[in-house]
Structure 1
Amino acid sequence: MNDKQPLPNPPWLLLIHQLPSKPAYLRVKVWRRLQGIGAVAVKSTVYALPATAETREDFAWLLKEIVEGGGEAMVCEARLIDGLSDDQVRALFDTARDDDYEAIANEARALTATLDVAASGEEKTEARAQVRRLRKRLADIAAIDFFGATGRLAAEGAITELEGLLVVDVDTDAAEPEAVPAIEDLKGRVWVTRKGVHIDRIACSWLIRRFIDPDAVIRFVPGKDYVPEPGELRFDMFEGEFTHEGDRCSFEVLLTRAGLDDPALRAIGEIVHDIDLKDGKFGREEAAGIAHLIAGIAVAHADDEERIAQGEPVLDNLYQYFHKTRRGRAGMDP
């Protein structure tokens, strides 16, 4: 048993790579992938991410692509001793996300400036489509906003102003096509999600087996290029049947679309949201503690079923707490 106290600073993941001069498209591809997963450059060929189960998976996929493209790469876990400090690296992430948020806000403001009360129905229909696209971009950026950059507030405000001009409730608009299936229709199905489960997928798996189908079969597959079998239901996967929509995490989407109107489950959904999206939307005071518990489970257990098995008691206890105390918002009676 290791009795040493953990070091106070959180570890970082570093991708160190070298790309061949040809083909040229590989450099563009790798750069775009780095942007997509939210990595920042700390040196010219060294990119950093905070060390989590999900970021390890992101770098693992990218390393594979680099090597298959003829390059060289390695991923290591590091603690900063000298030179850059943890705060300086966090600032790099915040600056990158603030730039992303500013671009979204500017686009929303530009669209707002082109519209007026007399805009035609066709113009407003096109603008509504752009609002949905901006909301999707905002959710994508929020998912890689690891430290809560302040620019999100301005982007949210600009989009909300645009929505008000269009007299469109994006949440309602997005929910219109969501036909709520009967619980019976979700039983006896094979559920599929990405390997390397973390908070959102652990919570979804718990929700499925506790409240939808106790005998549900859950399969864990590569998140990239997976082709679903007929009848499978995918969750927390790209183009999945139950996945992130707007600024809602997969647990929230599954909860709503399964018709589970339970205040205790909604409270858990807020905690999962705050941990998964890192946007502080609900300000749940329990989020930090649960995040550390789940991170500990992920570090201690590589097997996905074991992670879910270890996470279930945590969520069971949370549910019983919210159910018996009838507490909705953290620390407040309804």
Structure 2
Amino acid sequence: MLLIPQLPAKPANLRVRVWRRLQAIGAAPLKNAVHALPARDGTRTLFEDLRAEIIVGGGEALILQARFVQGMTDAELRAVFDAARDADYEELAREALTVAEAEYVAAVEVRRLRKRLDDISSIDFFGAHGRQATDSAIARVEGRVGQHPDVTGPGAPALTFTDLKSRIWTTRRHVHVDRIASAWLIRRFIDPDATFKFVDGKGYVPDPGELRFDMADAEFTHEGERCTFETLVYRTGLDGDHALIALAEIVHDLDIADDKFGRAETAGIAALINGLCAGTDDDGERIAQGSGALDGFYAHFTKRRRI
């Protein structure tokens, strides 16, 4: 099936819009602005929709059903389609491998890459060979989700609530949402007499009796897709508190950045945390200010169960 457009000089952006639509629907360019699609269910509609857009823009377009007699074989035309999709797959595979080498990979990255792969596959009319390598590259990204050299660790040892009292709790400097919320949780629900210590994360050797959180090899840190706040809530048996679960969902989305829970309050808490962090570099002050705000949010969720 062929589309033969005739575009006016103006509007100037019509040519760009038509070119982008042809790319998006997977049309193969032939000679003199002629583009081809395989004659299948749905492809005619793609050309008809584009023709309507061209006419609205002041142009004209013909749609033809045709077959080659000389100059190009069906196999050669198929190779044009396959080459275009292989180029798309190769570009996506390179992007996926770059993501896989990042310091931290959020689940949202996998969804984005999978969405792009689905888009390419939808216009891969003849099954180009490049898909397999792209699948492997994205699988590599999936294997990295939730891993972070600054926070990934073996998880908490067998500790009772008594073991968690009057301890020094150590974490990385420059605290942000997960560490601020975790410090609030520790002092309010786990260890009211907690002392916080801020260190460089990499290569830190703890003193005897310290408990580390949200850092490499910590007793409490990211586990799977859970952020440190979630790990603390579940490891200490606080997951029966619906208000803490609501806060855990918000902290997760802000820290992991995967929009897993999508609570309406998330943007407001993000703005608050970003604002107080912009106002001071002192980690203790960040925790103090953040704790006051989290007390208020906890009271809010205690009185209002999520519907």
TM bucket (normalised to shorter chain) is 0.5 to 0.7
| Counterpart selection for 2:264 from 285, 294, 319 | 285
| Counterpart selection for 2:193 from 199, 212, 215 | 215
> Contact (CA 8 Å) 1:180, 1:258: kept in 2 or not?
no
Distance 1:143-1:150 versus aligned 2 partners, 3 A rule: closer
Q: Give distance in 1, aligned partners of 2:301 and 2:285.
A: 25
> Contact (CA 8 Å) 2:182, 2:229: kept in 1 or not?
yes
Superposed CA RMSD in Å reads 3.4
> Contact (CA 8 Å) 1:271, 1:284: kept in 2 or not?
yes
Tell me the SS of whatever aligns to 1:238: coil
Tell me the SS of whatever aligns to 1:260: coil
| 2:218 aligned with 1:249 | no
Cross-structure match for 2:296: 317
Percent sequence identity is 52
Tell me the SS of whatever aligns to 1:293: helix
Q: Which runs of 5+ in 1 are unaligned?
A: 1-94, 105-136, 163-176
What is the TM-score with the length of structure 2 in the denominator?
0.53
What's the CA shift for 1:213?
1.2
What's the CA shift for 1:181?
3.4
Residue by residue over 1:68-100, the C-alpha shift from the partner in whole angstroms, topping out at 9 and shown as x without a partner, is xxxxxxxxxxxxxxxxxxxxxxxxxxx999933
Tell me the SS of whatever aligns to 2:170: strand
| Counterpart selection for 1:141 from 90, 96, 105 | 105
What's the CA shift for 1:235?
0.3
> Contact (CA 8 Å) 2:156, 2:219: kept in 1 or not?
no
| 2:276 aligned with 1:304 | no
Q: Give distance in 2, aligned partners of 1:286 and 1:197.
A: 21
Q: Which runs of 5+ in 2 are unaligned?
A: 1-90, 118-134, 143-154
**Structure 1 segment 167-316 matched on structure 2, within 5 A:** 181-261=159-239, 262-316=241-295
**Structure 1 segment 67-146 matched on structure 2, within 5 A:** 99-100=95-96, 140-142=104-106
Residue by residue over 1:178-228, the C-alpha shift from the partner in whole angstroms, topping out at 9 and shown as x without a partner, is 666332221021100001000000000000000011110110111122111
> Contact (CA 8 Å) 2:198, 2:283: kept in 1 or not?
yes
Letter in 2 for 1:150: R
> Contact (CA 8 Å) 2:99, 2:105: kept in 1 or not?
no
Letter in 1 for 2:294: L
> Contact (CA 8 Å) 1:194, 1:223: kept in 2 or not?
yes
How many equivalent pairs are there? 184
Distance 1:310-1:143 versus aligned 2 partners, 3 A rule: farther
Letter in 2 for 1:324: K
Q: Give distance in 1, aligned partners of 2:282 and 2:224.
A: 30
What's the CA shift for 1:229?
1.0
Distance 1:300-1:245 versus aligned 2 partners, 3 A rule: same
What's the CA shift for 1:103?
8.0
Which of structures 1 and 2 has the bigger CA Rg?
2
Q: Give distance in 2, aligned partners of 1:271 and 1:98.
A: 32
Letter in 2 for 1:314: A
Residue by residue over 1:242-294, the C-alpha shift from the partner in whole angstroms, topping out at 9 and shown as x without a partner, is 11111110000111111112111011000000001110011111111111110
Distance 1:96-1:218 versus aligned 2 partners, 3 A rule: farther
Distance 1:306-1:252 versus aligned 2 partners, 3 A rule: same
Letter in 1 for 2:304: T
Tell me the SS of whatever aligns to 2:201: coil
**Structure 1 segment 27-66 matched on structure 2, within 5 A:** none
Tell me the SS of whatever aligns to 1:271: helix
Letter in 1 for 2:232: L
